[in-house]
Chain A
C-alpha cells in the first residue's frame, strides 16, 4: 500500500478514495463522483441538491459540490443493450443502442438529470437501466399503446419505432440511435427456463403438500415498506411538478372545451402533488401514535402503485407528443384514468386503516 504512494513521487496522492471512471461508458452509465475530481473527457457531471434541482458541469472542469449536493459523473455513451419486449417470448428481443442526451437548451429540466435525482440511488448500471427500460416497454406493449404484433410489417415497425423513441426520451431522457429485432435465444434459452420452472414445480409438492393453502401465495421479492415508500414518494415529489410542466406544454388546446379539460387535468395533478408533499409519515397514525406493521405495509403498497401510475403518466406524455390532433380524446380519457389512479392511491396512502379505505 505504502509502496504505491512512493512509486510516483511527482503525482499527488488522491485526496479521497480514488474515483474509478473505467466502468463508465461500458457497464455503468453514471457513477457517484466525489467532490474535487476533474471530470474525465467524454463525461459530464450532474449535481443534484436536496430539493432535486440539478445543474450540469462540462468535462474538464472540477466538481465543486455545494452544501447538500450529490454529484454524478455521466458518460454519454453510446450504449447497447438487449430488451425482451414480451415476458412470454423470451427468445425474441430488440437490440437497442442509445445515448444520454446532451443538455437541451430549450428545456428547464433535463429529463436524464431528473431520472438521476429521483430514481438513481447511487450508481446507474447499464443492466439495471436496461431492466427499467424493458419494464416500461413491456407495459406499453401489454396495454396496447405500442404495437409489435406477429409478422410486423415495415409500416407498423416504423410506427413502433417513433413511439418507442419518444417513450425512451420522455421517460428516461435518452435518445435511441438504433433498434433492431434480434434472436436472443442463445442467451435466453426458453427450454432451459421452462426446465428450471418444471423442476421448481416438482420440488414444491414434495416439500410441503399439506400447506397448500399458504403456497398459493408465491414467495415475493423482498419488500421493505420503509424503503419502498420513501423511494416512491420521493419520485412522486420530484417528478410530478416536472410532469405537470411538460403536460402543460405538450398540448395546445384548440378550443374552449379542450382548454377546460386541460386546465382541469393540471389542477388535479397539482392537488396530487400537494397531497404527496404533505403526506403523513409512514409509521405514524397520528402524532406520537405508532401505526401497526400491516397498515404500514398497506400504505407502502399504495405508494408503489402511485409510482406505477406516474410511470404510466410519463408514457402517456410520450404518446401526446407523438400524436397529432386526432386521438386527443382517447389520450385525455387515459389521462383521466391515470390521474384518478394517482388520486385514489395517494388518498389511500393517507388513511390509517383499511376500514377507512373501503367504506361503502
Chain B
C-alpha cells in the first residue's frame, strides 16, 4: 500500500507538565502477539495499553495480522492519568500507515469506548484555550472521535458533524489549510424560518449572514434539510477573507446531513457560487498558489474539489503528484450526484 513506516512516535503531556513519548515499532509477527506494550515499572499500565490499542483497531476497516506492533513509553506515569491513551492509539496507527500526519503529533485524550472510536475527554485544560498550541486534544470540543481526524461524521453519535478543509491564501507566511465544521442536530418540531437555526459563533454579523445565505441556498438546491436541523458552523481560524470557503462549507453541510458520498481522507475544496440554489460552482482567484498549497498538504485518501474553470489551467503534473500520493482531484461544475 504505502511505504512501510517501521518506527513512529507520538507524545502526550502528563499532568505534571512533563512529556511522555510513546514509540511504536513494527516487525514481522512470527507467531507472536499482535500488540506488545511496555511501560517502565508499571506492568498494569502496559496491559491496559494493549487492551486500548486492540479495542481501537476495531474501528479500522482493514485487518492485517502479518505484523506485530511494539509500543513502549519512555517513562513511567501515574496510574490515575489516562491522557496518554490517545497517543498510544495514534502511535499504533501511524506506524502501520493508517494515519499519516504531516508533522509530529502531541495528543491527549481518554475514552471508555475505544471500540467505537469515540474519545470522551481529556484531563489537560478544561477549555480549548488552555490547551497548548498544536496539541491534538480529545473530547467533545476538540477531537470527538477518531474519524474526525479526516472530517468524517461519527457513525454512532446523535449529533452529526463533518469537517472539510479549504486553502487559505493571502500571500503571507500564514497560508495553510483552514477547516470548517458543520454540526447538525435534529429539531424536534418543524420550523418555518430555517435561518434562525444556523449559528456561527466565530464570525462577525456580516459573515454570519453570508454563511446562512450559502447554507440556505445549498439546502434549497438539495430539496431537503430546510427547517429540519439545528446547525452550528465553526471555523478553525476566523481571520480569513473572501468567500472561497463556500464550496467547503456546502460539502461539510452535505456530509453532516448524510447526503454526500464520502472520501476516505479529508475533503479539500475551494470554490464559490453566485447561486447556490442552482448548485452551480463558480471560479475563485489565486489558482497557482492554492494549487501549490493543496499539492503540498494533500495526503492519502484526500479528495480535492476545484471549480470547473480551473480544469484547463491546473499546474503541470499536479494530477499525477496527487494520484501518486493517493489523493484524487475533480473539477466540478455543480454539486450533487455526478
Contact = CB atoms under 8 A, between A and B. Distances in A.
Contacts of B224: 91, 183, 185
A16 interface: no
A207 interface: no
Given A89-B258, A92-B259, A195 B337 contact: no
B305 interface: yes
Contacts of A142: 61, 264
B267 A150 contact: yes
Interface in B171-189: 184-188
Interface stretch (B80-88, B153-161, B201-209): B153-161
A148 B261 contact: yes
B183 to A, nearest CB: 11
Interface in A52-94: 85-92
Interface residues of B, number: 54
Contacts of B262: 86, 88-89, 141, 148-150
B257 A190 contact: yes
B112 interface: yes
Interface string B220-260: 00011000110000000000000000000001001101111
A349 B328 CA distance: 40
Contact of A154 (B261, B328, B338): B338
B31 A359 contact: yes
A143 B264 CA distance: 8
Nearest to B116: A218
A150 B325 CA distance: 18
Interface residues of A, number: 54
B297 to A, nearest CB: 17
A345 B34 CA distance: 12
Contacts of A308: 63
Contacts of B254: 150
B229 A191 contact: yes
Interface string B97-123: 000000000000000110110000000
Given A139-B61, A194-B158, A360 B261 contact: no
A308 B64 CA distance: 12
List 8 A-B pairs, minimum CB-CB distance, nearest first.
A198-B158, A142-B61, A360-B32, A191-B186, A344-B65, A190-B258, A197-B158, A216-B112
Given A91-B224, A191-B229, 18 more contacts: A88-B155, A92-B258, A92-B259, A92-B260, A92-B261, A149-B330, A150-B251, A150-B260, A150-B303, A151-B330, A156-B330, A198-B186, A213-B112, A333-B1, A337-B62, A341-B63, A341-B64, A359-B31
Interface of A: 85-92, 139, 141-144, 147-154, 156-157, 181, 183, 185, 190-192, 194-195, 197-198, 200-201, 212-213, 216-218, 305, 308-309, 330, 333, 336-337, 340-341, 344-345, 358-360
21 contacts: A88-B152, A88-B258, A142-B264, A143-B61, A147-B328, A150-B251, A150-B303, A152-B261, A157-B338, A190-B160, A191-B186, A191-B187, A194-B159, A198-B159, A201-B158, A305-B63, A337-B66, A340-B65, A340-B66, A341-B63, A344-B65
